[in-house]
Homo-oligomer: A and B are copies of this chain.
Amino acid sequence: MTKIIEFLIKPDPTDERLTEKVEGLDQHGQAVTTSVTVERPLTLFLNSREIVTMMTICDYPEFLAVGYLVNQNMLLPEDEITAIEYEEDIETVVVRTNSETNFEDKLRKKTLTSGCAQGTVFGDLMEKFDDVNLSPDVKLTTSELSVLLKKINTAPSLYLEAGAIHGCVLCVGSMPILYMEDVGRHNAVDKIAGYMFLNNIDGGDKIFYTTGRLTSEMVIKTVQMGIPILVSRSGFTAWGVDLAKQADLTLVGRARGERFVVLAGDHRIEYA
């Protein structure tokens, strides 16, 4: 079990691989130099089988690879990972397990989920949905939330440096623990899921923050990670709200500054 400390992982906007300076013109026709985020292809293999090619900032290819497989239910808690091999020159990451996994079953049906979403989910994202019991005892006070949002929003980030990026943060109370960014929100979520899987971090007492919208897929992934509270600065979709109610997930949206709206699981919010 990893020791929980504030910003165990956080964005590194000074990492020269992650942004690029580009020359352009502004609204007055004046030359400007601006930072843009660098996306790279990364092809994921599970054992000898090619799964997918993702576009990512590629700061944590191993966490991304494992988290993708976990969130697609292609890798189960009982599967033992024997190696993760990232080959930068051929833009490839291979996850090896001690036995064959059952993921071929997942290839039957593709669903494009909504929003800034993973896109392809192999079959049944909701497979584990009904089995999860989110703890009713975890609470989040409004003052903790306010402190948490301030810490996240003022932390140096690629978002502040270059924009065009999504962020996700795993938190406890008012403490951000893992802050991941990526060109797709799904990658940021997957990198956190991968880190949690590899370091045996339990989601049961955590809060998940995302810059993205509270869609069905975001709710399903949060529930799959066993996390009882999901917070976003963006808005809701109706199915996201429905699923959150079904799973008794606390769903907090439009959280900016001191303001927010909670549309499901409000018993975990304490006004203090």
Known contacts A52-B112, A115-B164; 18 additional CB pairs below 8 A are A22-B238, A22-B263, A25-B262, A26-B261, A26-B262, A27-B142, A27-B258, A27-B261, A28-B271, A36-B237, A36-B238, A36-B240, A37-B237, A55-B114, A55-B117, A55-B239, A110-B120, A164-B236
Interface residues in A217-272 by Cβ distance below 8 A to B read 234-241, 253-254, 258-264, 266, 269, 271
Of the stretches A87-95, A173-181, A191-199, A208-216, the one at the interface is A208-216
Contact between chains at A163 and B234 (CB < 8 Å): yes
Instruction: Check if A77 is an interface residue, CB within 8 A of chain B.
Output: no
Residue in B23, B183, B266 whose CB lies within 8 Å of A237: B183
Known A118-B119, A119-B118: A55·B22 in contact at CB below 8 Å: no
Known A114-B56, A259-B27: A36·B241 in contact at CB below 8 Å: yes
Work out how many copies of this chain go into the complex.
2
Interface residues in A28-87 by Cβ distance below 8 A to B read 28-29, 32, 34, 36-39, 41, 52-56
* Cα(A216)–Cα(B119), bound, Å: 16
A258 contact set on B, CB distance < 8 A: 27
As a 0/1 sequence over residues 148 to 175 of chain A, the CB contacts with chain B under 8 angstroms (1 = contact) are 0000000000000011110000000000
Interface residues of A, CB < 8 Å — how many? 67
Contact between chains at B24 and A237 (CB < 8 Å): no
A183 contact set on B, CB distance < 8 A: 114-115, 213, 215, 237
* Cα(A15)–Cα(B213), bound, Å: 22
Instruction: Check if A200 is an interface residue, CB within 8 A of chain B.
Output: no
Contact between chains at B271 and A55 (CB < 8 Å): no
Residue in B112, B115, B238, B240 whose CB lies within 8 Å of A53: B112
As a 0/1 sequence over residues 107 to 137 of chain A, the CB contacts with chain B under 8 angstroms (1 = contact) are 0011111111111100000000000000000
Minimum CB–CB distance from A193 to chain B (whole Å) comes to 15
Residue in B32, B55, B262 whose CB lies within 8 Å of A216: B55
| For the complex of A and B, 10 pairs with smallest distance between CB atoms | A119-B119, A163-B235, A55-B114, A164-B235, A116-B116, A24-B263, A114-B183, A38-B238, A164-B213, A29-B271
Known A34-B261, A271-B29: A24·B111 in contact at CB below 8 Å: no
A38 contact set on B, CB distance < 8 A: 237-239
* Cα(A240)–Cα(B52), bound, Å: 20
Minimum CB–CB distance from A260 to chain B (whole Å) comes to 5
